[in-house]
Amino acid sequence: MRRRKSSLICAIIDQTGRDATLRDTWRRFFGGAADVPAEALERDRAAGLVPGLGDARAVCGTLTYMCERNFSMLFSREHRPEEEDELCALLLGVSRRALGYPAS
């Protein structure tokens, strides 16, 4: 995704503020995007690999939107490619901790 898709992502996010149909589609897309990691998290919790730290679906949904918003903010301005790598590393670390996985 990264830099070559950044203008498309910013345009979609900007348009969702004006278009209710697109907003609903975007919300369904991100809702579905949270389903896969939520299922994996529930499986790992059931296996005792990570602690139960709240509703898996809610936590994964929150993290999905947090990542979307951070990338939107980054892509909405000029930035260095290294900033994308730094943001990926930061969001990965925050997400792993929020889900109960070790930081690395």
Query: DSSP letter string over 65-86?
Result: HHHHHHHHHHHTS---HHHHHH
pLDDT of residue 1: 45
Contacts of 57 (CB under 8 A, 6+ apart): 34, 35, 38
pLDDT of residue 17: 78
Block means of pLDDT (10 residues each) for the chain, 104 residues, are 64 79 85 91 96 92 91 88 94 94 82
Number of H helices, E strands in the chain: 4, 0
pTM of the model: 0.80
The values of phi and psi at residue 80, to 5°, are -85, 150
Contacts of 17 (CB under 8 A, 6+ apart): 23
